[in-house]
Amino acid sequence: MKVLIGNHLSDEERADVQSAVPGARICLTTERAAVLREIADAEAYVPGPFDAELLAAAPALRWVHYMWAGLDGALFPELVESGVTVTNSAGVFAVPMAEHALALMLAFARGLHLCARRSPERLWHAEGARHAVASTVTELNGLRVIAVRSRPRTPDGCADTIYGPDGLWDALAQCDYVLISCALTPATRGLIGADELAHVKASAVLVNVARGAIVDEAALIAALKSGKLGGAGLDVTAQEPLPADSPLWTMENVVISPHVSGSSPRTRERQLALVRENLRRWAAGEPLLNIVNKHAGY
């Protein structure tokens, strides 16, 4: 069994991965020309560069594992229609993304988005300035969790209520915070547009840690400017980096972070642990973790 890995691994990391499949031949390269050569007899591939040309050069390929979770742009048509199994790293980024989403929510709940943009004079010494911040603060404690899923299920303790896609507007109308964490697919591109934002409370805050294209950015800006939306915490935007002339930069009710919600000093450890476990399963003929529905996009 040959496994091609198109990522840099230290000697220690390579030995760790090899320990999961002692009998396999592990090949490491990040150069496209070398990948094109080595993929010819590889059964498993961890990209690295990957496209239709490389897939066509890989007659023995049976499994591809992506080191990231969102596969928009990675599931090219030839791969979708092939018999190659695809897995991703869903769950690897869950902890840092959840903490980042909570941080953005707390920034608004505690008025930190206002404090960060104000000078000492405006924050402490201008008449009514302190009250202007104090009057906005709230608590997250006691919030109900409402979820919208493509395949709704009975609430299991993570959410109090779970809607299907047809319940999106009903869910939005109840929320103080709208958290977007779904995959970007043809079905979710532009999912939150002007009609959806019209159903959200004027005091609500939208938090996006998924993909910028899920939100109609022009509609978002319009809602923020008009007061139809209370604020936005954005780790992702439609264009990245967000252009310097975007009005989002200067809005006091917007907090922007540079697509770092999945970042953590433990990310690499978790990525490689999943690679190692799936390689073990592949070699043992056991079901793989995180098999992707290639046609659905996640």
Neighbours of 146 (CB within 10 A): 20
Q: How far is 191 from 83, CA to CA, in rounded Å?
A: 30
Asked whether residue 15 falls in the same domain as residue 62, the answer is yes
Residue 291 lies in a domain: no
How many structural domains comprise the chain? 2
Which of 267, 273, 234 shows the shortest CA–CA distance to 251?
A: 234
- Which residue from 204, 229, 231, 219 is spatially nearest to 117, judged by alpha carbons? 231
Least confident of 8-22, 124-138, 183-197: 124-138
| Mean pLDDT across the chain | 95
Q: Examine the pLDDT at 291 and tell me if it is beyond 90.
A: yes
Query: Residue 20 and residue 283: Cα distance in Å, rounded?
Result: 9
Only one residue has tokens 């198109």, namely: 6
Q: What's the pLDDT score for residue 239? A: 97
Same structural domain, 49 and 121: no
Do residues 194 and 219 lie in contact, with contact meaning Cβ atoms separated by under 8 Å?
A: yes
Whole-angstrom distance, CA of residue 83 vs CA of residue 92 = 25
Residue 222 has pLDDT above 90, yes or no: yes
Residues 106 and 230 in one domain: yes
Rounded to 5°, angle at Cα 34 from 33 and 38: 125
**Structural domain span for residue 215:** 94-256
Same domain, yes or no: 246 and 103? yes
Q: pLDDT by residue (tens digit) across 163-206?
A: 999 999 999 999 999 999 999 999 999 999 999 999 999 999 99
Tokens coding 114: 């206002």
In this structure, are 7 and 40 located in the same domain? Answer: yes
278: left (phi over 0), alpha (psi -120 to 50) or beta: alpha
- pTM for the complete prediction? 0.91
Catalytic residue IDs: 211, 240, 259
pLDDT of residue 4: 98
Kindly report the number of other CB atoms within 10 A of residue 64's CB atom. Answer: 25
Same domain, 47 and 73: yes
The number of residues in the chain equals 298
Q: For residue 47, is it within any domain?
A: yes
| Confidence grade of residue 158 (pLDDT, cut at 50, 70, 90) | confident
